[in-house]
Amino acid sequence: MRRLRRFLKSFFLVDILRGLAVTLRLYFSRKVTVEYPEKVQEPAPRFRGLPRLYRDEKGEPLCIACKLCQRACGTNCFDIEGKRKEGAKFMRPEKFDWKLDRCTFCGFCVEVCPTSAIRFSPEFRLTGVRKDGLLFHRDQMYLLGDDLQDHLCGGCRRVP
Amino acid sequence: MAFREIDLNMGPQHPSTHGVLRLKLAVDNEVVLRVEPVLGYLHRGMEKLWESLTYTQIVPLTDRLDYLASLSNNLAYCLAVEKLAGIEVPRRARYIRVVLAELQRLASHLAWTGFMANDIGAMSVLLYGFEAREDILDIFEEYCGARLTVHGIRIGGAVHDLDGPLVSRIRAVLERIPKRLADIRSLLDENRIWKERTVGIGRITAGEAIDYGLTGPPLRACGVAWDMRKDIPYSSYDDFDFDVPLGTNGDVYDRYLVRLEEICQSIRIVGQALDGLPEGEFKAKVPRVLKIAPGEAFHTIEAPKGVLGFTVRSNGTDKPERVKMKSPSFINLQSLEHLCQGNLFSDVIGILGSLDIVLGEIDK
Amino acid sequence: MTPFVADVLIPLGKIAAVILYPMVMVVVMIWLERRVVALMQGRLGPNRVGFQGVLQPVADAVKLFFKEDIIPRQADKLLFNISPVLVMFSSLLAFCFVPLGEPVRIGTTTLTLWIADSPVGLLIVLGLSSISVFGVIFGGWASNSKYPLMGALRSVIQVLSYEIPTGLAVLTVVFLARSMDLVEIVRRQEASGVWYGFLMPVSFVVFWISAVAETNRAPFDLPEAESELVAGYHTEYSGMKFAYFYMAEYAHMVLVSSLVVILFFGGWLPPFQGVKALAFLHAVPGFIWYLVKIMFFLYLYVWIRATLPRYRFDSLIRLVWKWLIPLALANFLVVALVRFLR
């Protein structure tokens, strides 16, 4: 009896019809993809995008050129030189080079920074068309995401 | 038309060698006579590179080994270093690690199901598996800001605490996954073509599997109950109640069933860990510059691919003298020739897929 | 009507139509396949070029047109160049014998919706669609590469084996209709009031399964099994030659769908002929019904592809010799017996 049932099931292609039913049901289901350049899925708050330097409310740079990030970095992304101006309280970076092509986005630089000067921006578009576009100097590190994007690649700008 | 034995190069650029693996096949018509895997196309010199980095700086690089299960690599390495340095990990941190590692197992197995089905030709399952995996990657992004190379476990604990919103989000995802799984199962489990392609293909007996050093789901599909989480528990796994799914035939179909059942068990473990999440610190106090007295430690975990082990030898500085990795994919791949012998050329793809290899881990 | 129009313009127009109609269907089919598979997988598929991405296949063709045409150094140049043409030619030629509907009366003249009216049209169509396998063999052989060779070998065995159940299933239709003329077969179905697909479901299923196998489509797409043989017999082809293989495959699918509709589902006849209440269905032109039915079978092709895994070589052959051929034979005997007794 069970063998007969199995034979009938197999003869009438029950397994295949069940599969076809699943795909047909999903044909009408909600689609999960996002149409990228028009719609952008916003990254999570903790997203590790392009790191950038921040200033405080008064516009003063937060970075004190302590080079902790340089030491924490496992892939030698940073090249920092600091200098204390006459009468200034803290050192400030004279040179702050950061190399995108070396970065692994591990987050050590952000974790060790004592003044929270370097933090991750939500910028996830990292394409560059030239190699020197992947080297960021101090002034570029203070720029916001979209301005940084000018530096990288003009082709894939977000549609407003 | 019969042609005698020809050599066929599969890879390093081939749709289903899962990366840059090259297989030198000797085939007689469609029957496979010999298989020789050629490795090294993705060799990055990881183990040597680690010798020039501090203990903490190594952790993000372990993400790049088995890139489908980066948290498992993190965990295995961190446990080895903690064992060597004698760091006591707080109980909450251990639970968080279990949650993360099991979510990673879910993601890895779901991706595997998709790849495997796609190799055999069921292209829709790839997308269904990936859709479910995407939910888990979103959790990782929420938790620590990265999706693939997560770097979510640090020496001494985890990188962030698990807060309320995230916990409820994980629970919501865990409820969605079984539905997706049911779709996949009704597409594949009973399907005659799927069964013809998998049942009895790539069989290996329990004794041979042990001789070849198989671990993980391919070993358990032979009926050998060997799971590090149960047998040598680490990171508080003994607090949780779960089963080790076993197969009987040791063929591709059993490996598929074992993995799908492991997904259900992982969902159970994550649920228990979230329910019993103890209060306390999520990270032990670890000196910023970690210097470890000379010694050596070996620690293994049950990674999604099999038993993953790290040997760390210290020499008193902040950098290890040597780190050696025992990668499950590499060892499981050894058995490929044995599994493929006498099967048809089409089955090589299914068998290779069923071993669940990741080239980042094989070539290091 | 002047003889010029009747003897030159109308035939020329028909020839243009016979080339254009399959091409348009191919474009629609490629778009349909990509969209439907995508929608079944929870994604959207191509939706940028033209309305909902309809022009995506055209864009792809333009891209392929400008691609470099690579001929492997060791290849047999003549066969390598001839095989895509052969494949394309045989599928297009078959469309000459496929009627699109009953003759249309415009004024005083009647316009037949087919180019060649042959009493053995069915045989010619089946023969022409089998010729395309030579293109596949030549292409696989001439590439002088191992993957195409294996793909070609698989293709030969597969097509040869599946010809038999196809033939047996078609024979039952010929038995009932007592004709090999495709137009006549449809007329017989109109006269009998029941479409042969409902009269002989087994013949239909056998024919459909072997048709899917003969067009090298999933789950029988072994000759071009992507995950095993990279791209099968056309691995070494690029540019327009690749496009020829690609389009010929789809043209072949359209051809087979047309055949299924004509043989088993009443061609251009509207459904529910006998039911008086649904007589308004006759108002829709027959050609539309024909297209709708063809589209359904093209959809079925895609639907099956999105669902099923791929057969292995030996089980494919086992399926045809151990199941389909005995089934088709038994079916054939039953139909013959019934036909004899009545």
Q: What separation, in Å, do the N-terminal and C-terminal C-alpha atoms of chain A show?
A: 67
Boundaries of domain holding A23: 1-32
pLDDT of residue A159: 40
Distance from CA of C309 to the nearest CA of B (A): 4
| Average pLDDT over every residue of B301-325 | 89
Q: Both A66 and A107 in a single domain?
A: yes
b/e map of C277-302 (b: 16 or more CB within 10 Å)?
eeeeeeeeebeebbbebbbebbeebb
Q: Which of A12, A24, A33, A46 to mutate to test the interface with B (most CBs of B within 10 A)?
A: A46
pLDDT band at A157 (very low <50, low <70, confident <90, very high): very low
Share of chain C above pLDDT 90, in %: 0
pLDDT(A160) > 50: no
Radius of gyration of chain B (CA): 20
Lowest mean pLDDT among A126-140, B96-110, B343-357, C198-212: A126-140
Tokens encoding C155: 């293709």
CA torsion B248-B250-B256-B259 (nearest 10°) is: 70
pLDDT of residue B2: 52
- Report the neighbours of C using a cutoff of 3 or more CB pairs below 8 angstroms: A, B
pLDDT of residue A154: 45
pLDDT of residue A158: 42
pLDDT(A4) > 70: yes
CB pairs under 8 A between A and C: 33
Q: Is residue A78 part of a domain?
A: yes
Closest CA to B190 of C281, A20, C236: A20
Backbone angles phi, psi at A76, to 5 degrees: 55, 55
Q: Both A22 and A75 in a single domain?
A: no
Tens-digit pLDDT profile for residues B197-237 = 888 888 888 888 888 888 889 899 888 888 888 888 888 88
ipTM of the complex: 0.81
Question: Do residues C236 and C325 make contact, with C-beta atoms less than 8 angstroms apart?
Answer: no
Domains of chain A: total? 2
pLDDT band at A147 (very low <50, low <70, confident <90, very high): low
CATH number at residue A105: 3.30.70.3270
Q: Is residue A14 part of a domain?
A: yes
Share of chain B above pLDDT 70, in %: 99
Q: Both A89 and A136 in a single domain?
A: yes
pLDDT band at A120 (very low <50, low <70, confident <90, very high): confident
CA distances from C135 to A26, C124, C155, C167, C222 (A): 38, 18, 11, 21, 16
Q: Which residues on chain A are in Cβ contact (under 8 Å) with C44?
A: 31, 33, 35
Using CA of residue C148, residue C151, residue C157, residue C161, what is the dihedral sign?
negative
Judged by CB atoms closer than 8 Å, whether chains meet at B30 and C37 is answered as no
Q: Which domains does chain B have, with CATH numbers?
A: 5-363 (1.10.645.10)
Q: Is residue A70 part of a domain?
A: yes
Number of Cβ atoms within 10 Å of the Cβ of A4? 8
pLDDT(A144) > 70: no
pLDDT(A143) > 70: yes
pLDDT(B247) > 50: yes
| Average pLDDT over every residue of C276-297 | 78
Q: Is residue A100 part of a domain?
A: yes
Sheet with B320-326: strands ordered across: B295-303, B306-314, B320-326
pLDDT of residue C69: 82
Q: Both A66 and A111 in a single domain?
A: yes
Q: Is residue A105 part of a domain?
A: yes
Nearest to C42 among A22, A24, A31 (CB): A31
Judged by CB atoms closer than 8 Å, whether chains meet at B151 and A107 is answered as yes
Judged by CB atoms closer than 8 Å, whether chains meet at C37 and B1 is answered as no
- Alpha-carbon gap, residue C157 to B49, rounded angstroms: 53
Number of Cβ atoms within 10 Å of the Cβ of A5? 9
Q: Tell me which amino acid residue C75 is.
A: A
- Alpha-carbon gap, residue A158 to B13, rounded angstroms: 34
Q: Both A149 and A77 in a single domain?
A: yes
Q: Both A124 and A60 in a single domain?
A: yes
Radius of gyration of chain A (CA): 26
Task: Give strand pairing partners of C105.
Answer: C110
Q: Both A59 and A117 in a single domain?
A: yes
**What average pLDDT does chain C have?**
82
Q: What is the 3-state secondary structure (H, E, C) of C268-328?
A: CCCCCCCCHHHHHHHHCCHHHHHHHHHHHHHHHHHHHHHHCCCCCHHHHHHHHHHHHHHHH
Closest CA to B65 of B47, B83, B84, B39: B47
Q: Is residue A40 part of a domain?
A: no
Tens-digit pLDDT profile for residues A7-26 = 777 777 777 788 888 888 88
**What average pLDDT does chain B have?**
87
Q: SS3 of B296, please?
A: strand
pLDDT of residue A145: 58
Residue of A nearest to C300 (CA): A20
Q: Which residues on chain C are in Cβ contact (under 8 Å) with A159?
A: none
Q: Is residue A65 part of a domain?
A: yes
Q: Both A64 and A111 in a single domain?
A: yes
pLDDT(C134) > 50: yes
Q: Which of B58, B130, B142 to mutate to test the interface with A (most CBs of A within 10 A)?
A: B142
C173 vs A157 pLDDT, higher one: C173
pLDDT(C168) > 80: yes
Residue partners of B2: CB distance under 8 A and separation at least 6: B29
Nearest to A23 among C44, C47, C306 (CB): C306
Distance from CA of C141 to the nearest CA of B (A): 13
Question: Do residues B349 and C226 make contact, with C-beta atoms less than 8 angstroms apart?
Answer: no
Q: Is residue A13 part of a domain?
A: yes
pLDDT band at A155 (very low <50, low <70, confident <90, very high): very low
Does the pTM surpass 0.90? The reply is no
Share of chain C above pLDDT 70, in %: 94
